[in-house]
Amino acid sequence: MSNNASSFVAFFFGLLTGAVIGAATALLLAPMSGLEMRQQLATQAQSEYERAKLEYQKQTSKLRKQSEELDEQLAEVESE
């Protein structure tokens, strides 16, 4: 369970790091006007936000299920 939590944190750290590096690279290399660039960055940011939100929900659900399973196992051991 601890491994899953650290994997989850590592995923989000990597996601944020990649987003920042990607945004900086886009700003430096893209031949777009400021308005076009802001629109594209806003679209990409929204997309990444939705992706991160979905992954967070999946991981939270997975951890909740594992926690419930452990609670059930503990209850069985305690009742023996």
Rounded to an integer, what distance in angstroms lies between the CA atom of residue 7 and that of residue 78? Answer: 31
Mean pLDDT of 4-21: 84
Confidence of residue 2 (pLDDT cuts 50, 70, 90): low
How many domains is the chain partitioned into structurally?
1
Which residues does 69 contact at the CB level (< 8 Å), separation at least 6? Answer: none
Residue 65 pLDDT greater than 90, yes or no = yes
Residue 1 pLDDT greater than 60, yes or no = no
Range of the domain at 31: 2-79
Confidence of residue 9 (pLDDT cuts 50, 70, 90): confident
